[in-house]
Amino acid sequence: MNIDWLAFLIVAVATLVSALLVVGSYGLGVRLLAVASDAPESRRPAYRGLAYLSFAVAAVAVGYGIYLIVPAFH
């Protein structure tokens, strides 16, 4: 019987990295938006911008993940 344990390791690591990256960056965005609403007027746009940047990171991570698994793109 030939069991490909490496494949399971790949699934585990890929799941861990992608889920934590997406949740972490999206969570950071959520936090920064909340921080922005508390911040003084002058610094608000900066926090907002960083928040949207975090959301963008999450979106790019998802997009890259899908790109990786679709054979048609390679």
The token pair that represents 52 in the structure block: 């949207």
Contact yes or no for 47/35 (Cβ under 8 A): yes
Q: Which residue, 9 or 46, has its beta carbon nearer to another protein?
A: 9
- Determine if 53 is a binding residue for another protein (CB under 8 A): no
The number of helices, as runs of H, and strands, as runs of E, in the chain is 2, 0
Tell which positions 11-40 bind another protein, by CB under 8 A: 11-12, 14-16, 18-20, 22-24, 26-31, 33-35, 37-38
> Applying CB under 8 A, does 50 fall inside the site for another protein?
no
Beta carbon nearer to another protein, 1 or 42: 1
CA distance 57 to 22: 8
